[in-house]
Amino acid sequence: MSSPPAARKGFYRQEVTKTAWEVRVVYQDLQPVGSGAYGAVCSAVDTRTGAKVAIKKLYRPFQSELFAKRAYRELRLLKHMRHENVIGLLDVFTPDETLDDFTDFYLVMPFMGTDLGKLMKHEKLSDDRIQFLVYQMLKGLKYIHAAGIIHRDLKPGNLVVNEDCELKILDFGLARQADSEMTGYVVTRWYRAPEVILNWMHYTQTDLDQLKEIMKVTGTPPEEFVQRLQSADAKNYMKGLPELEKKDFASILTNASPLAVSLLEKMLVLDAERRVTAAEALTHPYFESLQDTEDEPKAQKYDESFDDMDRTLDEWKRVTYKEVLSFKPPQQLGTKVSKETAL
């Protein structure tokens, strides 16, 4: 048997949990962190800076047109995001030297350590930390929304946090208004927005129970909300409900500060058109001690038309390869250039 070709110059190979990884030599000490439906993540140390990074390897991204489209979209979205509270790319690379050989690419992101779900399981968060985490979440959401992207799966597991309590939003790749692959089951059930449940045609008893629980707090919505629903089934279901009064949030959230309750009352509104936006929520008095007068980074609109095209597998590979090769690292993370050589 012939041995496999040597690793590409500047790269090395390592097996991680029975998967072959081939990464740039600058990334050392690969350690498995986790895996999901579409890829695996390792932590590593960037030897140029000593910083810990997370490296994601997608499982066979070109196994089908659907997988290729998803991989391309994830890469483009991550390249687009440049905000401190949204996960973005530090690097992207492929060990494959030509387009003909192109089968894998790796995404390098900041290593965050934990997520909000794990954090809440292990410790009781102080009021100050809750305030800081929610503030960062809303700043990230404001930026994502300004880019024209809607996050459909915002949940504690998609909010990663480092040891300095800095938060970044993950997995906005699922985000979009009308995705043919987007079923009610993609969005984690307990964190689904009511409008997502109501516009998802195939209700289960759990969905309906969840809606009832939401309305026990928010009250049943006005008639104009019901009329705007796209699904006839949803309209009929809502019309058949007994009228429920909105609860006084302060009576439920007895340990929360009055300002926190006031903000939640604006955020947890059943009708999305009457719900406070992320940008509006950031100006609420609850965040007075954190509000930063410095301008937030302006989000460039994300152009989804590229992602929606019908392409052959070879075409998806070609456009993805081009995106990998055209990546420029964020300035603050690139090599620091002295003023003399920069001039």
Let me know: does 54 contact 39? Beta carbons within 8 Å. Answer: no
Alpha-carbon gap, residue 301 to 145, rounded angstroms:
9
Distance of CA 191 to the CA centre of its chain: 14
Torsion 210-211-212-217 (CA) sign: positive
Active-site position among 153, 207, 248, 271: 153
Alpha-carbon gap, residue 66 to 72, rounded angstroms:
10
Is 142 annotated as ligand-binding? Answer: no
Alpha-carbon gap, residue 76 to 37, rounded angstroms:
19
Torsion 81-85-91-94 (CA) sign: negative
Backbone φ and ψ for 11, nearest 5 degrees, come out as: -125, 165
Structure tokens at 156: 């504690």
Strands, DSSP E only, in the chain?
A: 11-16, 19-24, 27-35, 39-46, 52-58, 91-93, 106-110, 114-115, 159-161, 167-169
Q: How many Cβ atoms sit within 10 Å of the Cβ of residue 104?
A: 18
Q: Does the annotation mark 153 as catalytic?
A: yes
SS (H, E, C) 24-90: ECCEEEEEEEEECCCEEEEEEEECCCCCEEEEEEECCCCCCHHHHHHHHHHHHHHHHCCECCECCCC
Distant-in-sequence, close-in-space partners of 258: CB < 8 Å, separation ≥ 6? 250
DSSP 8-state code for residue 300: P
Question: What number of CA atoms fall less than 13 Å from residue 232's CA on the CB side?
Answer: 0
Which residues sit in the known binding site for ATP? 57
Tell me which residues are annotated as active site.
Answer: 153
